[in-house]
Amino acid sequence: MIKSFFFKQVKENSPIGTTVLRVTAIDKDSNNNGRVTYHLKSNQLYFALDINSGMITTKKVFDREATQNYFCVVEARDQGQPSMTDICVVEISIGDENDNAPQFESKNYNISVFEDELVGKELLIVVATDRDAGINARVRYHITDGNTGEKSFVTAIGLDTKAIFEGKD
Ligand SMILES: [Ca+2]
Ligand SMILES: [Ca+2]
Ligand SMILES: [Ca+2]
């Protein structure tokens, strides 16, 4: 093999048949003694390897929130008698797509406030989490409606992980 370790990222939700990368081995012998074929030794359920070109493609649609990394062992074999082999490891990392919305820990929060409560008094902290990674998991909170059926509505979208829900008249 040209290298013993390869790394490549594939985005989650990519269609089956998406190209991952091509592994290459060089054999200095002539004819069959130097003719190389490639064989996938692990994760055959998830990836396909072209025996002649060394091209790896996907066999599944991946979900980063379920599994983030796959390690494939690839063997290169010449056609000599007896044949000689080499192996390499290909790490395939599943990249994040923003495919999860934030979720509040609770759908309903109830608080009572004294009518003469100080302005700016902290009443409640609402928390929403998002299963994605990095910026796709950052949550921002907005009060989107108020005093409708004695309820206020808070929406989580984008940045901090916590926000203070302050009382309004
Ligand atoms: Ca996902
Ligand atoms: Ca998200
Ligand atoms: Ca995701």
Domain ranges of the chain: 5-95, 103-164
Which tokens sit at 46? 């998830």
Task: Check residue 134 and report its DSSP letter.
Answer: G
Across the chain, mean pLDDT equals 88
Distance CA 96, CA 102 (A): 15
Distance CA 58, CA 9 (A): 12
In this predicted structure, what is the pLDDT of residue 85?
96
Give the global pTM: 0.79
SS3 for 10-56, per residue?
Answer: EECCCCCCCEEEECCCCCCCCHHHHCEEEEECCCCCCEEECCCCCEE
Dist. CA 148 → ligand 1 center (Å): 35
> Which helix (H) or strand (E) covers residue 58, if one does?
strand 55-58
pLDDT digits (tens, 9 = 90+) for 64-112: 999 999 999 999 999 999 999 999 999 999 999 999 999 988 888 888 8
- Expressed in angstroms and rounded, the spacing between residue 64 Cα and the centre of ligand 2 is 12
Q: How many CA atoms lie within 13 A of 98 on its CB side?
A: 10
> Do residues 158 and 139 touch, judged by C-beta distance below 8 A?
yes
**Residue 77 and residue 105 in contact, taking contact as beta carbons nearer than 8 Å:** no
Q: Are 115 and 121 in contact (CB under 8 A)?
A: no
Ligand 2 centroid distance, CA of 40 (Å): 34
CB-based contact 72:56 (threshold 8 Å)? yes
Q: In 10 A of CB 128, how many CB atoms?
A: 20
For ligand 2, the distance from its centroid to the CA atom of residue 120, given in whole angstroms, is 30
Confidence bin at 167 (pLDDT 50/70/90):
very low
Q: Give me ligand 1 centre to Cα 166, in Å.
A: 33
Ligand nearest to the CA of 130: 2
* Fold of the CATH domain 5-95: Immunoglobulin-like (2.60.40)
Give the model's pLDDT for residue 160.
Answer: 46
